[in-house]
Amino acid sequence: MTLLQRLARRLGYDLVPRKKAKAPNAQLVALLKHHRIDTVLDVGANVGQYGQRLRDWGYDGRIVSFEPLSSAHQQLLTRSASDPGWVVAPRMALGAEDGEIDIQVSAETDMSSILPQSDLLKKISPSSAIQTSECVPIHRLDSIASDYVDGEGRAFLKIDTQGFEPAILDGATALLPRLLGLQLEMSLLPLYQGERDYLTMVQRLAASGYTLHLVLPGYFERKLARMVEIDGVFMRERPLEETP
């Protein structure tokens, strides 16, 4: 960091090169800062890639990561250990009910899902083949949110769970009105059996009072020459302080 950047940060500003400021991750962090987000719930954290990107691009608020897979959860604990503002929840999946559930473990762990893989995914990404399964605890976000979300805080929920996003929203009906924003992985093509497409998710969140503010590029499949997944970032139509 240059002297000028350090001086600017003391005054509450960040100076970044123009090209870097246009990068998708820079835009995401700028959005979080604009809305004064102080807690990010990172659901489907895998080994901490998302949390690390937030830190690399300047987000300095609290991160709470959730990951069900045993090996990925251990790597996540290691990655976050030196960051006092990065909390890792006990190993669990999140969904519409409390109990236990089987998750299919992919050779590429970030492609693991509770939902079965579609024929399309098996065809275009054989390296994502299922190797085994794990039985994991599953909880509603509403059941555990009070352990991680301050009633006075400004929270943001990111969900990247390979098609299981609707079930997680089903388990967060009490939490959703308290969130300022959400980031969802959304499908342009069905990679998992039973997953909802991006239009369905946009409409669902609009019905809950959220509008699409930012679209981040996701999985581009060269064999198809098209994007098959994107991330949508949604913010409340009215800030919490304006909500009756």
Supply angle C-alpha 185, 168, 23, rounded to 5: 25
pLDDT at 18: 47
Residues in the chain: 244
pLDDT at residue 107, as a whole number: 94
The CA distance from 15 to 5, in Å, is 6
Structural domains in the chain plus CATH codes: 36-100+139-242 (3.40.50.150)
As a 3-state breakdown, the chain gives helix, strand, coil percent values, each rounded to 5, of 35, 30, 35
CB atoms within 10 A of CB 208: 15
pLDDT of residue 242: 55
pLDDT in tens, the chain (244 residues): 555 555 555 555 555 554 455 689 999 999 999 999 999 999 999 999 999 999 999 999 999 999 999 999 999 999 999 999 999 999 999 999 999 999 999 999 999 999 999 999 999 999 999 999 999 999 999 999 999 998 778 999 999 999 999 999 999 999 999 999 999 999 999 999 999 999 999 999 999 999 999 999 999 999 999 999 999 999 997 655 555 4
Q: What is the pLDDT of residue 72?
A: 97
Beta-carbon contacts of 88 under 8 Å, excluding residues fewer than 6 positions away, are 45, 64, 65, 67, 73, 76, 77, 80
The per-residue pLDDT for 237 is 77
Please give the backbone phi and psi of residue 154, each rounded to the nearest 5 degrees, phi first: -120, 95
